[in-house]
Structure 1
């Protein structure tokens, strides 16, 4: 590691204490050093995700050994290598899935959990990929077993997870419907490629998905909401349907009739990504690079970005996230990214 060009300290966003967005504060901390198998990335951009909000609130702590700083996905330049690194060289542009530490000017990641920036994408766009694409791939494709011809119902279609699910499901031959909370968001998901949009404020999504599919229902349902949605998902699902739980924003399931699960032979699955091992994430990365990265390079899929904030305005980014008015990803950019734009 060349310490003459890498500073000893960096700016980062820390969580002062559990609470609201105002608890996100700029701090100066040591630049991390890459262990064997790890690379050091000079961060250009980082994604803002729901797990970051939960961590800030004190209900989703980082796994053992991970950075206490928030931030689960970044893109930037490799500036130093730990021992035994073989895939990347200093100067490579990468995006990476990390277990914490993304809201910073530098972060470390195991080389197997980093991927090359897809051809034609900016570092900002690349930073919007890892958390959502890894999450959607492992849950919707690996666990939910999405197949060409499936009918997919996506809740929260304009969220980061929702928008990626729509694009990937369409790219792999599914028929996709999405629930959203406004007419503007209905238009947004249709523009992303959804076959239909359901405004959950004015329409019953159970009745609508049955109507739109001539009574078949949804083969795959992707849900970030939980709460009363769990029972309604069972009603909206097709026989042999797969329900993929990616979030629980509205808390535990309510008034759940398991007879529907038995009668329809439903599979209800889900997982969290952050606690998985480096090796498990590496397997997901391999599949993404083989099956999804070519679609990104060809321009068939483009990450949807709503707004970008300077790193020091992370509190404003979290306020926007919690307001749920955004359409697509919310991003943070560092001084390194600003310098690239002005170069």
Structure 2
């Protein structure tokens, strides 16, 4: 189970000239259910997830294999042209909370001048270990929700609390309970973003209950064609692309020690003056939640005892927010 609480604050991204407006992003609560099994189903794979009334989506949700796209065609390859053209343009990478840009920044990655390996070294992002979850190619049988048969939006007041029961023709019965501690995380709430005369943006947010760490990353199109500006809240050089998603708690703890992720007691960060220079930047923020991990039967205390778990369960959680930085921020006249 992967659950998210998403918040959008003043996010109205203008379209590029000559292009239609992009679809409005949606906030709220999101949930993805995935079931994988090594068992061969008896007939057509069928499974359901019976849910508590607090989830407000009915009595049960169908877990359906992904539909096969039989109409997809292989991309056309023009003779004499490389299958993957080298990306063009430059990326300017900044990092760290503070009033001013630190010495040695930005690191500039010019894709037109670097080969793939050199660009990967320059466009540095933390390596994180994520457990391999259910996937169609990884398991003999696989079902998911939402799917082509059922894809309701979760109500704002939806809760995971209560008894859950998963059953089907390729899985053992899985019964478990989720308590308040592992319910949806609270939404991220920013206080009004303020901007100093020098151009520094001050971010303040309310503590998210049960969050175990925070991370922020912002991006803007540069003043020059083909130029992108990236900033992250990490104390070390970090592009951030791998960190704006679910992370195992042990990885969050490690990244806090390495000063890449902000600890849960921190509730503010300054985007240095001189990074975006008045350009409208999209800021993405994530609060990581701890996981609920269950196995049946539970692991015995005696490490030498025979243990053959019938099923395992993981509930991973995050709370995200997206907002804009730019001239619309409230000037700080103090």
**Higher RCO, Cα 8 Å, sep 6+:** 2
Q: Higher helix share goes to which structure?
A: 1
Given the two structures, how large is their TM-score scaled by the length of structure 1? 0.20
Given the two structures, how large is their TM-score scaled by the length of structure 2? 0.20
Q: Higher strand share goes to which structure?
A: 2
